[in-house]
Amino acid sequence: MAVEKILETDTLNQGRVKINAVLDQSNASSEKVDNYKTELTQGIDEAKKIATDAGDEAKNIAEQAGALANQKADQAVADSKTAVDTANRAVGTANQNKQEFDALRNEFDDLVAESGDSNPEIVQSRTDTEGIKQATLQARLTSDFNSRLTTADAMQLFSGSVNTPKMMDFKGKTAGNIASNPHQAFSDYTAATLKKPSANWNEFTQDNYNKVVARDDTGVSTGSSQNGVIPQQLYPFDVKAAIESVADSIFEGMTITEAVKYIKDHFVSIKISIRGKASSPGNKNLKVATFLESTDSYSVQMQNAASDYTDFTTEITDSNFIDSNGKINVLVFSDSSNGVTPASIDVDYIGVQITVSLSALDVLNKSGFVKDDQLKDHTENTNNPHDVTKEQVGLGNVPNYSAATDTEAILGTSPNKLMTPKNVSSAIDAKAVKIEGDQDVNGVKNFTSVPQINNIPIAIDQGVAFKEITLDATINANIKSGFIRLWRIGSMVIVGAYLSLKGPVRWVNLGAYPTGFAPQSPASFGIALGSTGGEQLPATMYAGSGNYRILTSGSVPTTGYDFQGSGVYVTEADFPS
């Protein structure tokens, strides 16, 4: 009769029932042994009696009976040994199950004591972001925290190198395609030795790739019952491609040899995570090895008993397991079959996390951003670093004319003379209105638009408009009092502002632009407000979102502090009535 396994979902009572069934079977085996012994004793006694009563014929019969009895005895001994072995395994299984139940009960007791609940969420809370069930909630939190970017990491990111992890697994993998996911998986159930990565392998089907993506207990099984055959699965993970997915230009301009050297020079560690199970004639060990190209052989990284799906993790700090193609080859296998008992492996999930030390500045530089010293060297290079020719800028077509005299420049009629700076100055002095200096301008000048002084249109006939915005605590609790006074003269607006504060006022709208006073360019408007206190704290009034706004220092004292200032801007709004 088959013995039922104890499942994770069984209650303690269901586990007890299954253990009792195993013990009952063991007792039945022991009774069978006792019966064989009784039968053997009876056969011998009968043979002796027949030999005594019947003479030689009885002796012959007895000898035949003895031979038969010996056969039965041998069979009984063999059956007895089998029964004893079965009983021992049953007892071992019972003890192991009891230990597992005791551990499970203690774990639930601890969880219930700490959380007051025993629903599935408590158990799920120990599963980290990689799907691995940690022994305690603290272990899960530590595992997840270590994969987060801390503030210190962010600061170091722009001041030096930072350890950058990248998980390699088979999410989004398409069988036979390495464009979207460069990692591959293969299997073999014919070889009697560990097959090297360069040998011929059978690639996973799409269905098998889908099975090793998540820890869902639906793994990929490889097995054989042929004598000496080792079931094995090979997983070549492309480390170079994984790093390129983080910094796509990091290997630009490098050969594959140079890229692999860069990886090894910046290597921190490789972490292998696997969930699987195994079976073989002598044990149920699941073995994981990595290929070392320099020795053309595998190095076993872990081997653990895994009769059921079990999670294992190991970390490697030797960069030599990365081969000349930038890959790490992970082999999963078990012991070989003996020709009677099959050997098999079953992988439910496998992933490899590569961690390298990268500099954000180097990554940006590879992406086209230049460093300060590079930019400085280039901008200060006066030796024509771009090798520009006169033809490229059109100088090849400049005619070879002589310079004009001052008289020719002022007259302005010669078509075959070149102007010198002195010629230009003389012509301007004679005929143009100069930007600077005193000058008499004769004749009537008809301006088709309003002239400007310092970029401010001269007021012609609109007059002057005035508006005042009162400031108090209804705008912001830290404003004691104040005002914004606006004078519009033509297209020019003169601003005067005063604020008495009792604390910092930051990013606060002081009031909407009055009609006819909206700045032409709010983004360029800003007035620095001077302070009347000894600390000389900074403050700025600026425009945005249809309002005058203010930003003060964050250290304005609550005892009071005054700011004031003035400025000018241009408006294109209609003149207010």
pLDDT over 80 (residue 96) = no
* Comparison of pLDDT for 1 and 317, the residue scoring more: 317
| Predicted pLDDT of residue 336 | 95
> Measured on CA atoms in the order 419, 421, 426, 431, is the torsion positive or negative?
positive
Distance between start and end Cα atoms, the chain: 105
Which residue in 473, 526, 475, 529 sits closest to 498, CA to CA?
529
212-248: pLDDT as tens digits: 998 999 999 999 999 999 999 999 999 999 998 888 8
In which band, very low, low, confident or very high, does the pLDDT at 549 lie, cut at 50, 70 and 90? Answer: very high
Q: Give the pair of three-digit tokens for residue 499.
A: 């604020």
47-65: pLDDT as tens digits: 667 656 655 665 665 466 5
| Predicted pLDDT of residue 263 | 93
pLDDT over 70 (residue 427) = yes
Which residue in 460, 476, 495 sits closest to 570, CA to CA?
495
310-353: pLDDT as tens digits: 999 999 999 999 999 999 999 999 999 999 999 999 999 999 99
| Predicted pLDDT of residue 161 | 74
Q: Give the pair of three-digit tokens for residue 321.
A: 């397991």
Alpha-carbon gap, residue 167 to 356, rounded angstroms: 12
The full DSSP string for 239-305 is HHHHHHHHSTTTTTT--HHHHHHHHHHTEEEEEEEEEEEEE-SS--EEEEEEEETTTTEEEEEEEEE
* Comparison of pLDDT for 138 and 337, the residue scoring more: 337
| Predicted pLDDT of residue 118 | 45
Alpha-carbon gap, residue 165 to 149, rounded angstroms: 10
* Comparison of pLDDT for 411 and 125, the residue scoring more: 411
In which band, very low, low, confident or very high, does the pLDDT at 181 lie, cut at 50, 70 and 90? Answer: very high
pLDDT over 60 (residue 115) = no
| Predicted pLDDT of residue 134 | 65
> Measured on CA atoms in the order 317, 323, 326, 329, is the torsion positive or negative?
negative
* % of the chain with per-residue pLDDT over 70: 72
Among the residue ranges 125-139, 177-191, 538-552, the one predicted with the least confidence is: 125-139
In which band, very low, low, confident or very high, does the pLDDT at 366 lie, cut at 50, 70 and 90? Answer: low
Among the residue ranges 189-198, 346-355, 501-510, the one predicted with the least confidence is: 501-510
* Comparison of pLDDT for 522 and 73, the residue scoring more: 522
Among the residue ranges 12-21, 302-311, 408-417, 455-464, the one predicted with the least confidence is: 455-464
| Predicted pLDDT of residue 71 | 67
Q: Which ranges of 116-157 would DSSP assign to H, the alpha helix?
A: 120-124, 137-146, 151-157
Q: How many CA atoms lie within 13 A of 115 on its CB side?
A: 15
439-450: pLDDT as tens digits: 787 877 777 776
| Predicted pLDDT of residue 343 | 96
| Predicted pLDDT of residue 117 | 41
In which band, very low, low, confident or very high, does the pLDDT at 112 lie, cut at 50, 70 and 90? Answer: very low
| Predicted pLDDT of residue 83 | 46
Alpha-carbon gap, residue 486 to 429, rounded angstroms: 41
| Predicted pLDDT of residue 266 | 92
272-318: pLDDT as tens digits: 999 999 999 999 999 999 999 999 999 999 999 999 999 999 999 99
What's the mean pLDDT when you consider all of the chain? 80
